[in-house]
Chain A
Amino acid sequence: MERLERVRGIAASLPVENVDTDTITPMHRILEGGDALVRYAFEPLRFHEDGSRNPDFPLDQPRYEGAKILIAGANFGCGSSRETAVWAVAGMGFRVLIAPSFGDIFFQNAFKNGMLPIVLPQGTVEHLARLADGAAFEVDLATQTIQAPDGRTTPFEVNAFRKQGLLRGADDLELVLDRAEAIRTFQARDRAARPWAWREPGS
């Protein structure tokens, strides 16, 4: 997983609430393979029903070319657990997402793919979105701040554990594997306490 420390770049704005995982990666593209996830990311918003491009789709506007930060509406990534939604947004080049809220599962999946989701109050998100006209933002994970083009600094909260994971570029697997002994101890105790919750291997 790619490390994330400081992201400097253009912010793109997608000011729509409840953008769901089925919109980000439609079911019929999930098994298509190749770059379909990224090419057809946000397909219902990005393309017309006849397959032609929707020239008004915000994220394809020339001023957002090369954007690394996505400023979204409330409940971004709501819906299914499909991690393809995070892969698609990452594949479009975004490393930082800013919204008033995120779908819970999407939010967790993001951290595991080297992406930083930031929750800020609606008014702050709207203010940042108004500044997203092609000028550069800087997001610094170490200091937990967003430097906006108007010179103002906005602090943000991030779980300390998740922050360390992003800074180190590691998902949870290593940490959990390191705790094999603790897991075995828990399991031995639990087998005695709750025998009914266990099944014998091979059963």
Chain B
Amino acid sequence: MKSARRTLFEKLWDAHEIEDLGDGLGLIHIDRHLLHDLSGPFSLRALRERGLPLAHPELTFAVPDHGVATDPDRRDDSNPNSAKLLPLFRQSCADFGVTLFDLGDVRQGIVHVVGPELGISLPGTSVVCGDSHTCTQGALGALAWGIGSTEITQALATQALVIEKPRTMRVDFEGELPPGVGAKDLILHLIGRHGANGGTGYAVEFAGATVRALPMEGRMTLCNLAIEFGARFGLIAPDEQTFAFVESGPYAPKGEALARASADWRALASDEGARFDRTIAIDVSLLAPQITWGTSPEHVIGVGERVPEPAAGRDAATREAREAALDYMDLRPGAPIEGLAIQHVFIGSCSNSRLSDLAAAARVVRGRKVAEGVRAFVVPGSGLVKQQAEAEGLDRVFLDAGFEWREPGCSMCMSMNGDRVPAGERCVSTSNRNFVGRQGPGARTHLASPAMAAAAAIEGRICDVRRFENA
């Protein structure tokens, strides 16, 4: 018996459940399957090797992002990984009839930027991709989650997956955002307070007045880091802003189909009184800009705080992890995080590479110069984002300041394309993972918002963006 009052997640689940398999599992229909250059070529090859058909090429889209070079005159052979993967990816997409947004196409970009932007991923759809940050797209009010390679092959062959139904959590952010504080700070703060496994086993709905006031891009940032909170699914109820955003996408439904869609989309909200397994409420009105000090997104503090002691009241495994993190990051407990010299700044990734992210960084950068000895990258999330940013003159702001203005891709978020931070050097990054070696072996990553990253580029050290007049 389905409850009369359902959460948004339960509505999405029910709409896609082909069969209740019992034991908390459902056979779930897949509306959209997105492939990228790391997962795509191998999964399509696996399909062919197993003699399986691609069930629905028209519901499958492909875009290279993980391994692609980001320099202005990039080619397949700009780095060994893309030289290996791109020809294979292109060929397998052609063989199976999958639409590919290739290098040179303005629609190419990071898969989690491209899906929503082109109207491929829509409110009320189920979206899978062989990438953990697929939860980003839950910001549209979609059932979107990351899957491994076995599941990719299964989804390609059958358009369905056996999924364990997660518990439900609602996180309410309330209060007006202080100056210099944005979506990235909200989600990092949540992870810092409740742990990198605080959301494990849950589908997390982000709600509250603060979330409703966020631009689409900020909502995607929140959902993007749901997986860093441990949650496979993040989601936000769609509203007029969401509808306006998706309707402009070339693949979004038009005409009568759009009218039908709009009616369905307006029902995509948790019912009043719907029961969540867990709720968390956070008042954001006194929140400071956040920055990570360690090697897990939960190792995060306000920019005015000091690096914490690893031992205080913690179990052995936590202490071990925190001591190792301090050692790797070359930090002492009790030291202020502010003032720490940095050599790299990365503004980009599926967390923070959309137009309003770039605009927030540009406000800090305008009329200023990147500090000597700092290499600063801006990597727009897609060709379309890049085009819009250039139309607004943001590229000039960054270039005049001494930033590199690059081509779209995952770039320095995971350093698969050769964009990396050398061992022992420090980077303020708008990406989502400060794991050991993530930005290159020995690289030291401090996660922060685009505004904080921009400020660090100007000062050459970690600094409080609130001290910048026009931030």
The interface of chain A, by Cβ under 8 A from chain B, is 15-18, 20, 22-23, 26-28, 30-31, 43-44, 49, 73-75, 78-83, 86, 101-105, 108-109, 112-113, 122, 126, 159-161, 171-173, 175-177, 179-180, 182-183, 186-187, 190, 194-203
Cβ of B174 within 8 Å of any chain A Cβ, yes or no, is: no
Contact A82 B29 (CB under 8 A): no
Apart from A74-B197, A190-B29, 5 more pairs, CB < 8 Å:
A27-B414, A49-B423, A176-B157, A179-B160, A197-B125
Question: Per a CB cutoff under 8 Å, which of A83, A196, A197 touches B148?
Answer: A83
Contact B296 A20 (CB under 8 A): yes
Contact A176 B162 (CB under 8 A): yes
Name A72's closest neighbour in chain B (CB-CB).
B317
1/0 per residue, CB under 8 A from A, across B175-200: the answer is 00000000000000000000111001
Contact B231 A104 (CB under 8 A): yes
In the complex the two chains form, what is the Cα distance from A20 to B321 in whole Å? Answer: 11
In the complex the two chains form, what is the Cα distance from A28 to B15 in whole Å? Answer: 40
Contact A81 B19 (CB under 8 A): no
* Chain A residue contacts of B304, Cβ below 8 A: none
> Count of chain B residues with Cβ under 8 Å from any Cβ of A?
80
Name A173's closest neighbour in chain B (CB-CB).
B154
Name A43's closest neighbour in chain B (CB-CB).
B437
Contact B27 A44 (CB under 8 A): no
Contact A113 B257 (CB under 8 A): no
* Chain A residue contacts of B130, Cβ below 8 A: 81
Name A104's closest neighbour in chain B (CB-CB).
B232
* Chain B residue contacts of A171, Cβ below 8 A: 150, 154
Name B323's closest neighbour in chain A (CB-CB).
A16
Contact A108 B148 (CB under 8 A): yes
The answer to whether residues A101 and B435 also contact, given A20-B296, A172-B161, A201-B58 and a CB cut-off of 8 A, is no
Name A86's closest neighbour in chain B (CB-CB).
B148
In the complex the two chains form, what is the Cα distance from A194 to B161 in whole Å? Answer: 20
Selected interface stretch from B211-219, B258-266, B279-287, B391-399: B258-266
**Min C-beta distance of A33 to chain B, whole Å:** 10
Contact B435 A109 (CB under 8 A): no
In the complex the two chains form, what is the Cα distance from A101 to B233 in whole Å? Answer: 17
* Chain B residue contacts of A83, Cβ below 8 A: 148-150
The answer to whether residues A122 and B315 also contact, given A79-B132, A183-B159 and a CB cut-off of 8 A, is yes
Contact B441 A186 (CB under 8 A): no
CB-based closest 4 A-B pairs: A73-B317, A196-B261, A83-B148, A196-B253
Cβ of B84 within 8 Å of any chain A Cβ, yes or no, is: yes
Question: Per a CB cutoff under 8 Å, which of A26, A74, A126, A201 touches B57?
Answer: A201
* Chain A residue contacts of B146, Cβ below 8 A: 80-81, 105
> Can you list 14 residue pairs at the A/B interface with Cβ under 8 Å?
A15-B320, A27-B415, A28-B416, A81-B130, A81-B148, A105-B148, A108-B151, A159-B164, A176-B158, A182-B18, A187-B159, A194-B124, A197-B31, A199-B58
In the complex the two chains form, what is the Cα distance from A78 to B132 in whole Å? Answer: 10
* Chain A residue contacts of B85, Cβ below 8 A: 31
Contact A112 B150 (CB under 8 A): yes
In the complex the two chains form, what is the Cα distance from A171 to B154 in whole Å? Answer: 10
Contact B197 A109 (CB under 8 A): no
In the complex the two chains form, what is the Cα distance from A161 to B441 in whole Å? Answer: 40
Contact B29 A183 (CB under 8 A): yes
Cβ of B23 within 8 Å of any chain A Cβ, yes or no, is: yes
Name B199's closest neighbour in chain A (CB-CB).
A104
In the complex the two chains form, what is the Cα distance from A17 to B435 in whole Å? Answer: 13
* Chain A residue contacts of B38, Cβ below 8 A: 30
**Min C-beta distance of B265 to chain A, whole Å:** 9
Q: Which of B14-30 contact A (CB under 8 A)?
A: 15, 18-19, 21-25, 27, 29
Contact B197 A22 (CB under 8 A): no
**Min C-beta distance of B404 to chain A, whole Å:** 21
* Chain B residue contacts of A82, Cβ below 8 A: 148
Question: Per a CB cutoff under 8 Å, which of A30, A81, A180, A203 touches B58?
Answer: A203
* Chain A residue contacts of B231, Cβ below 8 A: 104
Question: Per a CB cutoff under 8 Å, which of A15, A173, A186, A202 touches B18?
Answer: A186
Contact B18 A22 (CB under 8 A): no
The answer to whether residues A17 and B317 also contact, given A173-B154, A176-B158, A196-B258 and a CB cut-off of 8 A, is yes
In the complex the two chains form, what is the Cα distance from A102 to B437 in whole Å? Answer: 21
In the complex the two chains form, what is the Cα distance from A27 to B147 in whole Å? Answer: 17
Contact A78 B320 (CB under 8 A): no
Cβ of B111 within 8 Å of any chain A Cβ, yes or no, is: no
The answer to whether residues A49 and B442 also contact, given A108-B164, A196-B261 and a CB cut-off of 8 A, is yes
